[in-house]
């Protein structure tokens, strides 16, 4: 009888351990993948005509320092950022648009979402980010390529992703 219990116990342990998923590990350097984009004709709060470029991309950050609610209130802390790089088409070739032409810095703080809070052993953060960028009339260019990357709070830079199509604004 003792032998039967031992065999049953060994089989149960083998069965349970074979169904346990191994903890998947990701790099502490954030990774991004382009998902989709939309170019919308819309108006702002003052009814000014504009176009809005909405970029959706997936991200994975293995050490979970992409979003941190503690840094939201602290103005001196490092923050995760999204960097957009625009290239305008000139004479059939794309050249980088200087930041000064767009009248805004091209580094934007990533929004913190409370669902990104991670506790316990697995600190990995992953999900989808949707970011919109406005273009007001008159637009200084008509055809763009857009590349982007993110940095985490340790200022580790992700790979650079690109919207696969030219974007025609006019």
Q: Would you tell me how many other CB atoms lie within 10 Å of the CB of residue 92?
A: 5
Segment 57-97, tens digit of pLDDT: 999 988 888 776 554 545 555 677 899 999 999 998 999 98
Q: 141 with 91: CB under 8 angstroms?
A: no
Beta-strand (E) ranges in 8-138? 31-43, 49-61, 81-90, 93-96, 107-109, 125-136
Domains and their CATH numbers in the chain:
25-168 (2.60.40)
pLDDT at 33 over 90: yes
- Kindly report whether the global pTM for this prediction surpasses the value 0.85: no
The number of beta carbons lying within 10 Å of the beta carbon of residue 4 is 8
Name the residue with tokens 């998923």: 21
Determine the average pLDDT of the residues in 19-47: 84
């Amino acid at each position: 009888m003792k032998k039967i219990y031992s065999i049953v116990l060994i089989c149960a342990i083998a069965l349970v351990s074979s169904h346990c998923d191994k903890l998947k590990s990701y790099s502490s350097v954030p990774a991004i993948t382009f998902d989709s984009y939309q170019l919308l004709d819309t108006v702002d709060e003052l009814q000014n005509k504009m176009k809005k470029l909405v970029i959706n991309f997936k991200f994975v950050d293995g050490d979970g320092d992409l979003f941190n609610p503690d840094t939201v209130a602290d103005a001196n802390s490092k923050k995760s950022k999204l960097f957009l790089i625009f290239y305008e088409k000139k004479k059939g070739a794309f050249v980088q648009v200087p930041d000064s032409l767009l009248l805004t810095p091209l580094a934007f703080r990533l929004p913190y979402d409370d669902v990104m809070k991670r506790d316990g052993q697995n600190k990995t953060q992953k999900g989808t980010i949707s970011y919109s960028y406005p273009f007001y009339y008159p637009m200084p260019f008509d055809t763009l390529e857009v590349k982007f990357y993110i940095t985490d709070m340790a200022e580790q830079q992700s790979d650079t992703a690109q919207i696969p199509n030219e974007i025609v604004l006019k």
